[in-house]
A and B are shown apart, each in its own frame.
With several copies, the nearest count.
Chain A
Amino acid sequence: MISTVEKKLIISNPDELFFGLAPKPVKCQRGFEIGNGVVYPEINFTLPQIIINESTWKEVKSIYTEIIGEVCKRAIELKTPALVVEFELLPPMTMNPEWGAEITKILSENLDVFYKKSGLKSALRVTPVDIRDTNRPPLMRSGELTVNMFRSFELCAQAGADMLSIESTGGKEVHDDALVNADLSGIIFSLGILAVKDMQYLWERVVDISKNHNVIPAGDTGCAFANTAMILADKGMIPKTLAAVIRVATVVRSLQAYLAGAIGPSKDCAYEGPYIKAITGIPISMEGKTSACAHLSYLGNIASAAADLWSNESVQNVKLLSAYAPVVSLEQLIYDCRLMNLALKNGNEFTLKYRNLMVESDAGLDPQAYILKPEIIISLSQKIIQEDSPYKMTLCAVDETLKLLRDASDKKEIKLNEMELRWLDILSMQFDEIPGDEINLIKKMKNGIYADKFLPAEYDI
Chain B
Amino acid sequence: MNLIEVIKENVIRGHTDSNAKYPPDLAGKPGVKDLVQNAIDEMIPASQILNESLIAGMEIVGSKFSAGEYFVPDMLLSAQAMKSGMQIIEPLLKSEDSKKIGTVVIGTVKGDMHDIGKNLVRMMLEGGGFEVIDLGINTPPEKFIEAAKKYPDAIIGMSALLTTTMENMRISIEALRANGLNNKVIIGGAAASQKFADEIHADGFTRDAAQSVQLVKRLIGLAA
Residues on A facing B (Cβ under 8 Å): 46-52, 90-92, 133-136, 176, 180-183, 228, 232, 236-239, 316, 319, 321, 419, 422-423, 425-426, 429
Q: Assess whether A180 is in contact with B116, with CB atoms less than 8 Å apart.
A: yes
Bound state CA distance, A4 and B69, in angstroms? 44
Is B180 located at the chain interface by the 8 A CB criterion? no
A134 pairs with B138, CB closer than 8 A: yes
- 26 A-B pairs with CB atoms under 8 Å apart are A49-B164, A50-B163, A50-B164, A50-B167, A51-B171, A91-B162, A92-B164, A134-B137, A134-B138, A136-B137, A176-B115, A180-B72, A180-B116, A180-B119, A180-B120, A182-B73, A232-B72, A236-B68, A236-B71, A237-B120, A238-B72, A321-B163, A423-B71, A426-B22, A426-B23, A429-B21
Q: Which of B93-146 contact A (CB under 8 A)?
A: 111, 113, 115-116, 119-120, 136-138
Given A46-B163, A91-B111, verify A419-B69 contact (CB < 8 Å).
Answer: yes
B interface with A by C-beta (< 8 Å):
21-24, 68-74, 76, 111, 113, 115-116, 119-120, 136-138, 162-168, 171, 190-191, 193, 196
Interface of B is mostly: loop
Nearest chain B CB to A224 CB, angstrom units? 10
Q: With CB as the reference atom, state the residue of chain B lying closest to A131.
A: B113
**Docked CA distance A434–B70 (Å):** 25
Given A49, A134, A136, A181, which contacts B163 in the complex, CB threshold below 8 Å?
A: A49
Q: Which residues of A contact B119 (CB under 8 A)?
A: 180
**Nearest-CB distance from A24 to chain B (Å)?**
34
* Closest residue on chain A to residue B119 by CB atoms: A180
Residue of B with least CB distance to A48: B163
**B126, chain A: closest CB distance, angstroms:** 14
For the complex of A and B, the 3 pairs showing the least CB-CB separation, nearest first, are: A182-B73, A51-B167, A237-B72
Nearest CB on B from A235, distance (A): 8
Which residues of chain A are near B74, meaning CB under 8 Å? 419
Closest A residue to B168 by beta carbon equals: A51
Are B72's CB and A49's CB within 8 A?
Answer: no
Question: Whole-angstrom distance from the CB of B170 to the nearest CB of chain A?
Answer: 9
Partner among B136, B164, B190 whose Cβ is within 8 Å of the Cβ of A51? B164
B116 touches A182 (CB 8 A): no
